[in-house]
Amino acid sequence: MTKENLMREAIRLASENVANGGGPFGAVIADKEGNIVATGVNRVTDSNDPTAHAEVSAIRAATAKLKTFNLQGYSIYSSCEPCPMCLGAIYWARLDKLYYGNSKADAKRIGFDDSFIYEEIQLDPTKRKLPSEILLDKEAIQSFKDWENKTDRIDY
């Protein structure tokens, strides 16, 4: 499939998901030859899972199918510019390229406004709206030391 056809599939999934009661977001993960490996749609409300965004769902499906956490060699096609969580997941999955249809400004116009998260990320943690504090850091550091010393770890 061409990249345009792969994007059309992501858009089709988004429209179909709206018709089925879900959010207006769809995603497709494809290999370099244009073969679809996995798809995802926004299932936040029906699954009661705030992380069930289309891109995250597609990544979960692809990694399960391919039995790897590393999606180098694959691209993602999203019906909309990813939110901060999904963008982070795309980077962590090491996808080669992101294509998207609607922009975050388009999403904001219909009530999906993630701009506050982008703004919050840039703030010092003590100035964020979500109260947070460091707790038991001297105990928590042990697991990091254990990781550093682990000789058979799988880096990711």
Hey, which residues are catalytic here? 55
Do the Cβ atoms of 34 and 6 come closer than 8 Å? Answer: yes
Number of H helices and number of E strands within the chain? 7, 4
Helix (H/G/I), strand (E/B), else coil: 75 = strand
The whole-angstrom separation of Cα 3 and Cα 17 is: 21
**Cβ pair 55, 76 in contact under 8 A:** yes
Locate the DSSP E strands across the chain.
26-31, 36-41, 74-80, 97-102
Residues 81 and 144: their CA atoms lie apart, in Å, by 34
The Cα 25–Cα 9 span in angstroms is: 11
